[in-house]
Amino acid sequence: MSMPTRDTIWDKIEIDGQIYDTLNRPLDSKTMQKIKEYKKENGGLFSSAPWITDSYKWSIVDKKLYLNDLTYLDKNDIDPNNKNIIQKIFQTDKLFAKWQNKDLKLLLNKKIEPIPSNRERVIMDIKVLKFKDGVLVETKIKKEEF
């Protein structure tokens, strides 16, 4: 079984023309359940590593977080009919993430340094986006090491 780590890339997000990798996925349980039901009914591939089988693209427009694109792999690893299924599930071209009240972490930079005993130290510069009901209220930069 594959387990995510602190530096697992989940999704992509576009902000002011820049594209960033996300270190977490801003979905609530209700939205996730709708996606799972759709995938189940349409031959979607389920994995213990959802960052491998699903592709989510987000954006921030006028300080609001939107899910713009959602694709998934089917059981045959082909997805010609599974491009941007947001319209099929939610009847909209972009879904306003009004549920988002947790921080979203974006990877700015990652450096790996060797340390004694064949181990590595990972140092990441992260942009943390704070939301209130899907609206961006604060942005800060921080460093994480592990």
Question: What is the tens place of the pLDDT at every residue in 124-146?
Answer: 999 999 999 999 999 999 999 88
* Residues lower than pLDDT 50 in the chain: 1
The token pair at 31 is: 């939205």
CB 54 within 8 A of CB 70: yes
pLDDT value, residue 1: 43
Beta bridge partners of 67: 58, 95
- In 3D, which of 4, 22, 23 has the Cα closest to residue 12? 22
pLDDT of residue 3: 62
